[in-house]
Amino acid sequence: MAKYIFITGGVVSSLGKGVAAAGCGALLQSRGYTVHARKFDPYLNIDPGTMSPFQHGEVYVTNDGYETDLDLGYYERFLGAKLSRNDSVSGGRIYWDVLNAERRGDYLGGTVQMIPHVSNKIKEYISAPSDTDFVVCEIGGTVGDIEGKIFLESIRQFANDVGRRNVMFIHLTLAPYLEKSGELKTKPTQMSVRQLLENGIQSDMLIVRTPRMLTADERSKIGMFCNLPAKSVISGIDVDNIYKIPLAYEAQHVFDIIADHFGLPNARGDMSRFERIEKYLGDDIPSVTIGVVGKYFDVPDAYKSLNEALFHAGIQNNVHVKLKKISAENFTNEDCADVDGILVPGGFGARGVEGKIAAAGYARINKVPYMGICLGMQVAVIDFARNVLGIADADSSEFNKKCTPVIGIMSDHDSENMGGTLRLGAYPCVITAGSRAHEIYGTENISERHRHRYEMDISLEQKFADAGMIISGRSPDGKLPEIVELRDHPFFVAGQFHPEFQSSPYTGHPMFNAFIAAAVKHKH
């Protein structure tokens, strides 16, 4: 059977439980073990799909079309896993499942209670088949949160169900440093572990977020008060890049602690892929500047996968990628005067759209490499229709009901995997031979993930092609445009999908790799 590692957090939120979970999974993979990952969020939303990027960061989309927490992106990028709707579970979804079961009569008229009905439902998701050696489960929120108590109770029960030696509890805490007294305070960690013990869970390892390495005395003190050997107290030091986390854990023998708990051989790991990234980060190599024209910059995590994909492409091209955040709401041509490439990401709503249209136009006219993602493809089509085809009122029906809609509401075409009216998840795309897109991907058949509800009007294809913008990728039945590109341009490619969701730090993604290569060429 699979073995389970549960990651919990205390003291404050946003300690990096997702990265810690991915980092521990990476150590296991480096020894040849297979790893799956799951995220449990106690909040009452059914899923993150309707949550504002300003509050929650980006919405990540899985292959099977489920809108999930952004931490699943960490798991897929670090571990190369393909996760599904069963790997992102909220409290709202749990209660929804239980209450629907009650309405159907599944409980045969019995009284429905938190224990066993809600806790059993949580355990069902935890133990869903994974066909891997390990399942790493992150429990969202902070120990002490009211909505999280049933999740802690469920993992306590689960450890008893499958055997304590098949389950490991890792707890993330905070040791704040007080400048005035010059002290690192361990009391918040002690109190957090005590709260966890009140829920019946004894930590097997502590990862203590701290601005510096814990001293031997500090580790001993924490271990004594938290009922752990000092060797199981790990310094969760701040690093300038998340891909250094596995190396930091490796240096502190985190795998050895995991191996001792589960009775695994203490094998040496192959950390070469992370060492390669660390070397890249330290190398004195050229850089390119990419202007990202967006509207969610107030929240660092709003473009998490996008930022990661650009970083990955920098590794593949051996250049550092600098991002210039350009507000779509206040866009001027001068914003792009010093950039080597322009990227317009996805988004919803009319706010900032005219700035994005202007950015696409600037890239088209000035021969600056352009990459459009989802809405970034649609604004490129609108700009071309207005300023090349002369359709003055060209727009999307999402933003203007009285326009000439070159972008319109999606039909019921292939409604499987659609959430509401959204087209969600992975769909196949057929690429035209001889196109720039074909050169990028090196194949005629690809699959990319979507999250949108509007499409380019394909009946206008010939008009656009005659003027120089071609549809170079489409759905297998030929009805839905997936990729557009300009013939007479160094690099102008836009996709209706979200390629950032399939980028890897070890290989990058073909479209991002080609975009950064074009930016390098443009700079020279």
Tell me which residues are annotated as active site.
374, 498, 500
Count CB atoms within 10 A of the CB of residue 197.
14
Q: Within its chain, how far is the Cα of 136 from the centroid?
A: 16
Residue with tokens 């700079």: 523
Question: At 88, which amino acid appears?
Answer: S
Are 503 and 312 spatial neighbours (Cβ–Cβ below 8 Å)? yes
Are 373 and 344 spatial neighbours (Cβ–Cβ below 8 Å)? yes
CA distance 230 to 216: 8
| Structure token pair of residue 173 | 């805490």
From 163, 84, 160, 97, select the one nearest 124 (Cα to Cα). 97
CA distance 293 to 190: 45
| Structure token pair of residue 71 | 């931490």
| Structure token pair of residue 176 | 């704040």
CA distance 278 to 276: 5
From 292, 295, 197, select the one nearest 512 (Cα to Cα). 292
Question: At 352, which amino acid appears?
Answer: G
CA distance 237 to 235: 5
Sheet holding 394-396, edge to edge: 394-396, 404-409, 454-456
DSSP, collapsed to helix, strand or coil, labels residue 472 as strand
DSSP, collapsed to helix, strand or coil, labels residue 36 as strand
| Structure token pair of residue 449 | 């993930």
